[in-house]
Amino acid sequence: MTEPLILVLDEGTTSTRAMLFTPAGELRGTAQRELTQHYSRPGWVEHDAGEIWDKTVACAREMVERAGGAGRIAAIGVTNQRETVVAWDRATGEPLARALVWQDRRTAAFCEELRAAGHEDAVRETTGLLLDPYFSATKMRWLLDNEPAVAEAARAGRLAFGTIESWLVFRLTDGAAHVSDAGNASRTLLLPLTGATWDSGLCDLFGVPPAALPEVVDSAGQFGTTALFGAWIPICGLAGDQQAATIGQGCLAPGETKATYGTGAFVLANKGSDAPRSRNRLLGTVLHQLGGRRCYALEGSVFVAGSLIQWLRDSLQMIVRADESEELARSVEDNAGVVVVPALSGLGAPHWRAEARGAITGLSFAATRAHVVRAALEAISHQTQNLADAFAADGAEWTELRIDGGMSANDWLAQDIADITALPVVRPDFVETTALGAAMLAAVGAGLHGSLEQACAAMIGGTRRFEPAMANDLRKARLAAWEKALAAV
């Protein structure tokens, strides 16, 4: 008997991918296409939803062929860049405007207006989020106010809004399903953390017509079927990328925490069935919803992580390749007093200081390129430690940290994070945790595994551990130097 396969559609910010997994978590193939980024004005970031769809289908077709036909595929799982908004016409399935990407800051003034009017505390209490352009609702409002086709479709009752998973499921099912999983929905500012569906008061506040929104559904189940690839394939798993990575890291029990170090760094801690209310400017979010029951997470995002290494490479030309940072860090005994504060685009959690800018402090004639590069990597550990303190203050103390993302390949950094947080750091051998998490949800939705715990046992492989080994006085000195440099930016 041939084994069933799971097709994962991994919709990133810079690329779209399709990947094939077995129910044992083995990767059988990957197809990838880059996505065009449209930066039409400073602070604006747009995607063409039609391009996302076309490239998704192209990647998926490659993988269906690799599988030996659609009949071999038991389920589709989707994972996606979160918060990005697509507006389309329900009748034609055509996009009505460019998609506004999560990074897009055009609604900053609207957010400020709402904050000045005193809405932030109530919004935070209900949704777990902050009034920031990052989240979807103000982007929906902008589209209604500024794109005549969107406003016209709303008047005619034909407007559909959704995040990327919602858009793809609509197209995959030929318009039969307009859904969003609770995890993605919890990033819009329109879903109460503890409410089953959209909140009419929040829809009013942001000026978003509830009729345009998708139905809020579980993260695993049967969300529709697609006939696009020659045989019917059910869509069985949906999750935003950070939620999927948390699941793919096996953080299924309260307290289990992962950090993804890519362009930025995203830390999520499982909070079980308690809706988290941060007092330290972390976010409360839905990790997954199964059988209508929610599991929550506390989240902290750092804007600059791997992008700091890219900046050292491309703008300062201190290194030629990102992985050269490891060799350089190892080539010196310490940082020679150099501290890098990577506030190149402000500071995210737990500081939320949009106006802060980066700094390199402690320079002397003893400082070399290697010291600056080492200090840049050390900054990633220090930012992680600041998040660890905020999580602990919110009652979500870490006992170990599971890491992934492009930067986690750096062994020196992994050890430094363990040293500075004084916690074991665990890195999976298979680092594509986002896609794996989506495959796990799809496997559960399709009944290939009975529960996420069973999927975890069957699909997650080996790990490497980094134990903390730094002398305490050295650690204290590093933390003190960081706090001093941070206070000065």
Distance (Å, whole) CA 258 – CA 256: 7
- Establish if 430 lies at the interface with ligand ADP (CB under 6 A): no
Q: Among residues 79, 84, 257, 325, which is the contact residue for ligand ADP, using CB under 6 A?
A: 325
Our measurement of the distance from residue 10's CA atom to the centroid of its chain's CA atoms, rounded to an integer in Å, reads 12
Q: Which stretch binds ligand ADP (CB under 6 A): 91-99, 112-120, 156-164, 303-311?
A: 303-311
Q: Among residues 405, 428, 437, 445, which is the contact residue for ligand ADP, using CB under 6 A?
A: 405
**Minimum CB separation from ligand ADP for residue 312, in Å?**
8
For ligand ADP, the closer CB: 429 or 473: 429
Query: Within 10 A of 290 (CB to CB), how many other CB atoms are there?
Result: 17
Distance (Å, whole) CA 118 – CA 290: 35
Residues in CB range of 66: below 8 A, 6 or more apart: 20, 28, 29
Q: Which x/- pattern over 19-48 shows residues binding ligand ADP (rule: CB under 6 A)?
A: ------------------------------
Terminal alpha carbon distance of the chain: 62
Residues in CB range of 166: below 8 A, 6 or more apart: 86, 178, 179, 180, 184, 214
Note whether 444 and 424 are within 8 A (CB).
no
Q: Among residues 332, 409, 470, 479, which is the contact residue for ligand ADP, using CB under 6 A?
A: 409
Give residue number: closest CB to ligand ADP. 406
**Minimum CB separation from ligand ADP for residue 173, in Å?**
28
Q: Which stretch binds ligand ADP (CB under 6 A): 203-211, 331-339, 406-414, 454-462?
A: 406-414
- Establish if 437 lies at the interface with ligand ADP (CB under 6 A): no
For 308-365, the DSSP string reads HHHHHHHTS---SSTTHHHHHHHTSSS-TT-EEE--BTBB-TTT-BTT---EEE---T
**Minimum CB separation from ligand ADP for residue 257, in Å?**
18
Query: Within 10 A of 317 (CB to CB), how many other CB atoms are there?
Result: 8
Q: Which stretch binds ligand ADP (CB under 6 A): 53-61, 155-163, 186-194, 404-412?
A: 404-412
* 1-20 positions binding ligand ADP, by CB under 6 A: 14
**Minimum CB separation from ligand ADP for residue 196, in Å?**
32
- Establish if 262 lies at the interface with ligand ADP (CB under 6 A): yes
Q: Which stretch binds ligand ADP (CB under 6 A): 147-155, 165-173, 301-309, 393-401?
A: 301-309
Q: What are the tokens at 300?
A: 């902290």
Note whether 251 and 402 are within 8 A (CB).
yes
Q: Which stretch binds ligand ADP (CB under 6 A): 184-192, 242-250, 347-355, 399-407?
A: 399-407
- Establish if 432 lies at the interface with ligand ADP (CB under 6 A): no
Distance (Å, whole) CA 485 – CA 440: 42
- Establish if 309 lies at the interface with ligand ADP (CB under 6 A): yes
Q: Which stretch binds ligand ADP (CB under 6 A): 102-110, 130-138, 210-218, 403-411?
A: 403-411
- Establish if 310 lies at the interface with ligand ADP (CB under 6 A): yes
Note whether 132 and 201 are within 8 A (CB).
no
CA distances from 23 to 1, 288, 446 (A): 14, 20, 11
- Establish if 307 lies at the interface with ligand ADP (CB under 6 A): yes
Q: Could you tell me whether strands 339-341 and 359-361 are parallel, antiparallel, or unpaired per DSSP bridges?
A: antiparallel
Distance (Å, whole) CA 60 – CA 6: 11
**Minimum CB separation from ligand ADP for residue 413, in Å?**
6
**Minimum CB separation from ligand ADP for residue 350, in Å?**
21
User: What does the chain come to in residues?
Assistant: 489
- Establish if 319 lies at the interface with ligand ADP (CB under 6 A): no
Q: Among residues 173, 242, 410, 421, which is the contact residue for ligand ADP, using CB under 6 A?
A: 410
Note whether 435 and 289 are within 8 A (CB).
no
Note whether 75 and 229 are within 8 A (CB).
no
**Minimum CB separation from ligand ADP for residue 299, in Å?**
16
**Minimum CB separation from ligand ADP for residue 249, in Å?**
14
Distance (Å, whole) CA 59 – CA 238: 18
Q: What angle do CA 76, 82, 85 make, to 5 degrees?
A: 100
**Minimum CB separation from ligand ADP for residue 47, in Å?**
15
Note whether 101 and 45 are within 8 A (CB).
yes
For ligand ADP, the closer CB: 219 or 307: 307
Q: Which stretch binds ligand ADP (CB under 6 A): 167-175, 363-371, 384-392, 400-408?
A: 400-408
**Minimum CB separation from ligand ADP for residue 263, in Å?**
3
HSE-up (13 A, CA, CB side) for residue 44: 11
**Minimum CB separation from ligand ADP for residue 110, in Å?**
27
For ligand ADP, the closer CB: 234 or 262: 262
Residues that bind ligand ADP (CB under 6 A): 14, 262-263, 306-307, 309-310, 322-323, 325-326, 405-407, 409-410
